[in-house]
A and B are shown apart, each in its own frame.
Chain A
Amino acid sequence: MVNECAVPKKIIKGGKEVMVCDETRSRLLPVLQDIQDKKGYISDKNMQEVADMFGIHPVEVFSVITFYSFLSEKKKGKHIIRVSNCVSNVMAGSEKIVKEFEKVLMIEIGQTTKDGEFTLERTSCIGMCNEAPAIMVDDKLIGKVTPQRVKKIIQEQKQ
């Protein structure tokens, strides 16, 4: 039943019209994640290339990128620091951590440092609720963060 074309198709199943797509299209996210990983963002040119590869319109690639918060069409810092603002973290004082990062990096949340090293963001629960306040630096989960530890965390990334 899987068809070889790269575009989703409508089929009738159980009397209902449903969309199916083939294996190739299902590789879209891993491909985009790979570009995001290597370059830190997905440029217009990349979008066009990916669109050609899958035989879909670039707008469709764009719409997938904008859906996922870990994919970005804008250039971001080399390292992304995400501070969790879930309830457990807020109760444990995550706002203080945000403030300290803002102070040390001299940016506001949502921004990237001038040298392109760091982007500071908020995120929801990262599964570190029992070690709040917690942050994610790139792939790393770091718990029990204190304002005092912030500088050291930043330095560790630079090495």
Chain B
Amino acid sequence: MKVKDKKTKELPKRQGLVIFSEIENGAGLKKALKIKKEQVVAEISASNLKGRGGAGFPAGLKWKFAAQEKDEQKYVVCNADEGEPGTFKDKVLLSEYAPLFLEGMVIAAYAVGAKQGFVYLRGEYRSFVPALESELKEMKKNNLLGENIGGKKGFNFDIEIRLGAGAYICGEETALIESLEGNRGEPRNRPPFPVNTGYNGHPTIVNNVETFAAVVHIAAKGADWFKVIGTEKSAGTKLLSVSGDCKKPGVYEAAYGISIKEILKMTDAKDVKAVQVGGASGVCVPKSQFDRTIAYEDLSTGGSIIIFGQKRNLLDAAENFLEFFEEESCGQCTPCREGIPVLIEAVKMLKKGECGKEYLKDILSLCETMQLASKCGLGQSCPNAFISIINNFKKDYALSKNSKQEKTFNG
């Protein structure tokens, strides 16, 4: 696939083993349409492709569940809400590789039997809408979208672009569906899962932009080709968006199994103190663990890599992340709504040296409660960065020695 010029600036051609590798427009879809739907699902399953949006659910299994549902109306949703701090890899796909991930959605529609698709695009990326719309038109002209797609009688599928409106939580798939339905973006209880009861009560698959992009390559080049890339448990590659204290921030495609050390070398980062993997909901990795790797079995991430240089105090980062979550929590459930402000206060106390050992213990047990009892991934994962910073960067804060003054959990 050719990288589109933005007319003024010539974009350097991106390189990678899967997503950024060469492919002809429509090649994946053409091959998929030659085989039965069940075989397409089987091929995606055999490739071991897992979701690239963060949670890592096997894509083939999700599709299989939706395909098995008996319903005239099914939906394919592309999650382009990309809101995790430090993530901008979907932006590259949306702006430079639109034909690719849209084709992935069409393949998904064929596999599960959907007639309608949505791209749920975060409001911040609104400026991409005109280009995406014209791409959809182009696809229709080329019979890659619309009616009797690819000459396949009865295979009709259309895609509509829907905009988010500045709510991070709408990236959570059930909140996203609520938002599509015209409601507040509040996560639903699961089960039922979207594959069974999704948009307007119909079977719906929600996948990340990058997942759809990978699908096209798998359909065109085969599960076996894909599987040998990466590690045994994490097939393929991951787009990494690297930012922070490094000379070459940007989007890189790397095979799963790449170590933090290698990422730092690739992005020309020196004097690094820590690397935040997975954004605000991820973990903060200290230098002693830079041999750890990006993989579902080790450090799992939707793609956010933020580098902290030696001079950074990581409590500041913890505070920033928690303030982000405070702003973005939907407030539906207690552990998340009530827990986050308590964690913020604790960080402030730690920064002033006013937090004692016992109180910190209470706080860490509150973190555990939040991880276990919150309704959705936001509340469950928001203590992660805090915990890893408290455990790994003890030099960044001092505990209060004055035990008499010490605040306890009950006031």
Could you tell me which A residues sit within 8 Å of B by CB distance? 1-2, 8, 11, 13-14, 16, 18, 20-23, 25-30, 33, 54, 63-64, 67-71, 85-88, 90-91, 123-132, 136, 139-141
Contacts and interface: CB of A to CB of B under 8 A. Distances in A.
Across the A-B interface, give the 7 residue pairs with the lowest CB-CB distance, nearest first. Answer: A28-B182, A20-B201, A68-B165, A129-B243, A130-B249, A69-B166, A70-B166
Interface in B322-342: 324, 327-328, 330
B196 to A, nearest CB: 6
B86 A91 contact: no
Given A29-B165, A124-B85, 12 more contacts: A14-B196, A18-B192, A25-B181, A26-B199, A28-B183, A33-B165, A69-B166, A70-B164, A87-B280, A91-B308, A125-B84, A129-B306
B179 interface: yes
Contact of B200 (A22, A129, A141): A22
A70 B165 contact: yes
Interface stretch (B20-28, B120-128, B228-236, B343-351): B120-128
A53 to B, nearest CB: 12
Given A91-B245, A130-B249, A136-B124, A67 B201 contact: no
B101 interface: no
Central interface residue in A22, A130, A139, by most chain B CB within 10 Å: A130
B85 A1 contact: no
B250 interface: yes
19 contacts: A1-B71, A1-B202, A16-B191, A20-B200, A22-B200, A26-B180, A26-B181, A29-B180, A33-B163, A64-B182, A64-B183, A64-B184, A67-B330, A85-B320, A87-B85, A90-B316, A90-B320, A123-B124, A129-B241
B73 A2 contact: yes
B283 interface: no
Interface string B67-107: 00001010000000011111110110000000000000000
A68 B83 contact: no
B73 A18 contact: no
Interface residues of B, number: 62
B165 A141 contact: no
Contacts of A130: 88, 241-243, 249-251
Nearest to A21: B181
Nearest to A124: B324
B34 interface: no
B184 A67 contact: yes
B181 A129 contact: no
B185 interface: yes
Given A87-B306, A130-B249, A136-B124, A71 B165 contact: yes
B197 interface: yes
A104 to B, nearest CB: 23
Contacts of A14: 191-192, 196-197
Given A20-B201, A21-B200, A29-B182, A124 B168 contact: yes
Given A13-B197, A90-B320, A125-B87, A140 B165 contact: no
A127 B124 contact: yes
A18 B127 contact: no
Interface of B: 71, 73, 82-88, 90-91, 122-127, 162-168, 179-186, 191-192, 196-197, 199-202, 241-245, 249-251, 276, 279-280, 306, 308, 312, 316-317, 320-321, 324, 327-328, 330
- Where chain A touches its partner, the secondary structure class is mixed
B166 A68 contact: yes
Contacts of A63: 184
Contacts of A2: 73, 200-202
A29 B185 CA distance: 11
B165 A128 contact: no
Nearest to B199: A26
Contacts of B162: 29-30
B167 A67 contact: yes
Nearest to B321: A87
B163 A21 contact: no
Contacts of A11: 201
Contacts of B280: 87
Contacts of A27: 182
Contacts of B180: 26, 29
Contact of A18 (B201, B279, B316): B201
A29 B85 CA distance: 24
B167 to A, nearest CB: 5
Contact of A127 (B87, B185, B196, B249): B87
Nearest to B242: A130
Contact of A129 (B85, B183, B184, B191): B85
A69 B182 contact: no
A127 B81 CA distance: 10
A129 B88 contact: yes
Nearest to A61: B182
A88 B85 contact: yes
Most A C-beta atoms less than 10 A away, residue of B186, B280, B320: B320
Nearest to B331: A67
Nearest to B124: A126
Nearest to A127: B88
Among A25, A63, A88, chain B packs the most CB atoms within 10 A around the CB of A88
